Amino acid sequence: MDETWGRRSLRQLKQIANDPLLLIVILVILASLILFILYPLVKVITTSFLPEGKFSFSVFKEVFSSWYLRRAFFNSIMMGTLTALFGVGVGFIFAFTLARTDIPFKKFFHLIAIIPIISPPFIGALSIIMLFGNNGFISDHLLHLQNIKIYGFKGLLFAQIVTFFPVAYITLRGVLDSISPTLEDAALDLGGTRFKVFRRVTLPLAVPGIASAMLILFVETLADFGNPLILAGSQFPILSVQAYLQITGMYDLPKGSALALILLVPSISIFFLQKYLVSKKKYVTITGKPTSSTLKLVSPMVKWILFAVCLFFSLTIILIYASILWGSLVKVWGSNNTLTFYHFKYVFSVGFGAVKDTLIIAGISTPIAGVLGMVIAFLVVRKEFPLKHFMEVSSMLSFAVPGTVIGIGYILAFNSHPLLLTGTLLILLLNFIFRYVPVGIQSGVAILRQVDPSIEEAAIDLGADARSTFRRVTLPLMVPAFFSGLIYSFVRAMTAISAVIFLVSSNWNLMTVQIMSQVESGRLGAAAAFSVILVLIILAAIIIIRSILTLKYGRFGGTTLKF
């Protein structure tokens, strides 16, 4: 087997050698993937297993003998499981209601469900403190409750559901939209009751999507750092936060690495399980013209119940954002409601460095990640070379690895010569580029698989060499994918916290990290003002990128690519 693999690689290598530029690009990408994705992970493993230069389980023994850290592991898994269940439940109700009923304000509900995706993940936690905390608007002012226990299990679960149900909504909306309503019509026509049709037709068809959404939510919750840091409290330890505290609080690198590794194992296994499930059982995508939905599946009563549920969650989200906005504009949250721009002034004077740094870092890393994503997508879909599968898997790996693990890996890997990068701008840029490249790759791959290879062959046939074919034909065709990858990486770069909290320095700081430290020191107003500015920047960026896209590439109405 090895020999034939070797021979094939040799043949492919000979072909690539004809095109030195291609060879160089492939080598540079492979080297960077190894250095900036795999090497940090290897460092996490070696640091936890080789505490004194020798292989031993001592660190893990220590971790598992600690009651507190065992709790953290248990809590994280439980939180992930519950968020997966409830988040997918709410997401499914949203998706089903919007896809299969004719309730009013559908666009509004859709928009509300999208908003949490483009905001920093810890906004939920922040507003929960503002609403239900010790000085909370609802707990203290409306209900006059003292000592409501918002820190810990209940508060965190609520924040996680609000933060992550939109992810489930988007996945399941796609699934439900791809199930032709005529199947339901047919089942109704055959005499099924509405509930039976839902249970025996709609639900089974959606099951692969539901399972996939649950796994995604589990992994994301497990990896989440911002919400638990604010809300978990010391009574309810969470793995990602404990790993962070071991490193930054106790300077215990081996123990922090061991916790990161414990976090990594379930994340990666579930991630690949999800990939496997999705690849194995494709959702029933009925080909042919989308048939107009007749929306007969729900009775009027059920429809209005669903409407009420959606309305409740939408109002909750609105309440969250309203409280952030209100908090940024009043003098002291909970006690002095005088309107003031004090907090914004504070952000623009004291915190302006962080705003500028964030913009610089996101502004540089986003386009690089976008282009890199397109190049890797192109190589993976259109070229044959040895280690191609390795390139595909390792570049997608950062999807699965929790940010905390990556952050720890980076400080372990790049804190000594010749790779002394800690404290620099470069380490932040590299972290962002390699974490957010998978989205660009995914959308690039999806679009390239739709483009008939003979379109590129036609360009070559007309006399174009490899480079001008890529530049003049392939790249323009990938423009829509490039921009959607760009929006995603920009949003993620602006809202990231879990990895970068290890990598910021006094020279280079980020708004998300600033928000965290404002929350920790109790300056909720400043944290809220930072959050408002952050969300506004993201919205502005999305609008700008979108309008560039429609202005310059207006002909990509969507139909042009369906060749």
Partner 1 sequence: MSLKLVNISKIFKDPDHANKEVIAVKDVNLEINEGEMVSFLGPSGCGKTTTLRIVSGFENPTTGEVWLGDKMINDLPPNKRDTAMVFQSYAIFPHLSVGQNIAFGLELKGFKADIVKKEVEEIMSIMNLTELYNRSPDQLSGGQQQRVALARSIINKPSVLLFDEPLSNLDAKLRDLMRFEIRRIQQSFGITSIYVTHDQAEAMIVSDRIVVMNEGHIMQVGTPFEIYSHPVNKFVADFIGRVNFINGIVEETNEDASYKVGIGGKSKLITSSISPFSVGDKVLTVIRPESLSVSTGEQDSTAIFHGIVEKAVYLGPTVEYDIKIEGRENISAVTHNPVVEGVFKPGDRVNIDFNPAAAHLLGA
> Is 476 among the residues that bind partner 1 (CB under 8 A)?
yes
552-558 long-range contacts, CB within 8 A, separation 24+: 553/479, 553/480, 556/479, 556/480
CA nearest neighbour of 180 among 93, 278, 284:
284
Question: At its nearest, how many Å lie between partner 1 and the CB of residue 541?
Answer: 25
Asked whether 554 and 368 are in contact (CB, 8 A), the reply is: no
Quick one: 220 or 456, whose CB is closer to partner 1? 456
Residue 559 near partner 1 by CB under 8 A: yes
Is 295 strand, coil or helix? coil
Task: Note whether 146 binds partner 1 by CB under 8 A.
Answer: no
Among 35, 50, 319, 561, binds partner 1 (CB under 8 A): 561
Nearer to partner 1, 322 or 458 (CB): 458
Least Å distance, CB 396 to partner 1, is 22
Query: x/- string (CB under 8 A) for partner 1, residues 416-455?
Result: ------------------------------------x-xx
Establish if 468 lies at the interface with partner 1 (CB under 8 A): yes
26 close to 385: Cβ distance less than 8 angstroms: yes
Question: Closest approach of Cβ 4 to partner 1, in Å?
Answer: 4
Contact between 111 and partner 1 per CB under 8 A:
no
Site membership for partner 1, residue 14 (CB under 8 A) = no
Which of 159, 413, 477, 524 lies at the binding interface for partner 1 (CB under 8 A)? 477
Measured from the CB atom, the residue of 51 and 480 that comes closer to partner 1 is 480
Residue 563 in the binding site for partner 1 (CB under 8 A): yes
Report which of 279, 285, 303 is spatially closest to residue 183, judged by C-alpha positions: 285
- The half-sphere exposure of 544 on its side-chain side, counting CA atoms within 13 A, is 8
Minimum distance between the CB of residue 238 and partner 1, rounded to whole angstroms? 46
Q: Among 302, 319, 325, 464, which residue sits at the site for partner 1 (rule: CB under 8 A)?
A: 464
Residue 457 is a binding residue for partner 1 (CB under 8 A): yes
Neighbours of 146 (CB within 10 A): 8
Nearest-approach distance from CB 444 to partner 1, in angstroms = 15
Q: Tell me how far, at minimum, the Cβ of 155 lies from partner 1, in Å.
A: 50
Angle subtended at Cα 62 by Cα 58 and Cα 68, rounded to the nearest 5 degrees:
160
Q: Which of 282, 297, 99 is nearest to 199 (CA)?
A: 297
The residues that bridge with 336 in the sheet, in sequence order, are 332
Dist CA 71 CA 416 (whole Å): 34
Q: Which stretch binds partner 1 (CB under 8 A): 27-35, 119-127, 350-358, 469-477?
A: 469-477
Sole residue written with tokens 């009563």:
301
Q: Between residues 302 and 464, which has the closer beta carbon with respect to partner 1? A: 464
User: Considering the complex, what minimum distance in angstroms separates the CB of residue 554 from partner 1?
Assistant: 10
Residue 4 touches partner 1, criterion: CB under 8 A: yes
* Stretch binding partner 1 (CB under 8 A), from 73-81, 101-109, 465-473, 541-549: 465-473
Q: Which residue has the tokens 């109790």?
A: 522
How far apart are the C-alpha atoms of 158 and 165, rounded to whole Å? Answer: 11
Burial-class residue 308 by CB neighbours within 10 Å (0-12, 13-18, 19+): exposed
- Residue 556 sits in the site that holds partner 1 (CB under 8 A): yes
Long-range contacts of 79-82 (CB under 8 A, 24+ apart): 79/153, 79/156, 79/157, 79/160, 79/221, 79/222, 79/228, 79/238, 80/217, 80/218, 80/219, 80/221, 80/222, 80/266, 81/218, 82/157
Minimum CB–partner distance for residue 23 and partner 1 (Å) = 16
8 binds partner 1 (CB under 8 A): yes
DSSP 522: T
- 473 lies in the binding site for partner 1 (CB under 8 A): yes
Which residue stretch of 50-58, 221-229, 467-475, 506-514 sits at the interface with partner 1 (rule: CB under 8 A)?
467-475
Span from 162-170, 199-207, 284-292, 476-484 in contact with partner 1 (CB under 8 A): 476-484
| Nearest Cα residue to 84 out of 240, 234, 231, 224 | 224
Based on CB atoms, which residue is closest to partner 1, 5 or 105?
Answer: 5
Which lies closer to partner 1 via its Cβ, residue 75 or residue 443?
443
Pick out residues in 526-555 that bind partner 1 (CB under 8 A): 555
Q: Report d(CA 220, CA 373) in Å as an integer.
A: 22
Is 339 a residue that touches partner 1 (CB under 8 A)? Answer: no
Rounded least distance, CB 559 to partner 1, Å = 5
Name the helix (H) or strand (E) containing 14. helix 2-17
The set of residues, in sequence order, having a beta carbon less than 8 Å from that of 277 and lying 6+ positions away, is 208, 211, 212, 215
As measured in angstroms, the least distance from the Cβ of 464 to partner 1 is 5
Which residue, 352 or 390, is less far from partner 1 as judged by CB?
390
Closest separation in Å from C-beta 272 to partner 1: 23
Asked if 259 contacts 239 with a C-beta cutoff of 8 angstroms, the reply is yes
Note the residues at the interface with partner 1 (CB under 8 A).
Answer: 1, 4, 7-8, 18, 452, 454-455, 457-465, 468, 472-473, 476-477, 479, 555-556, 559-563
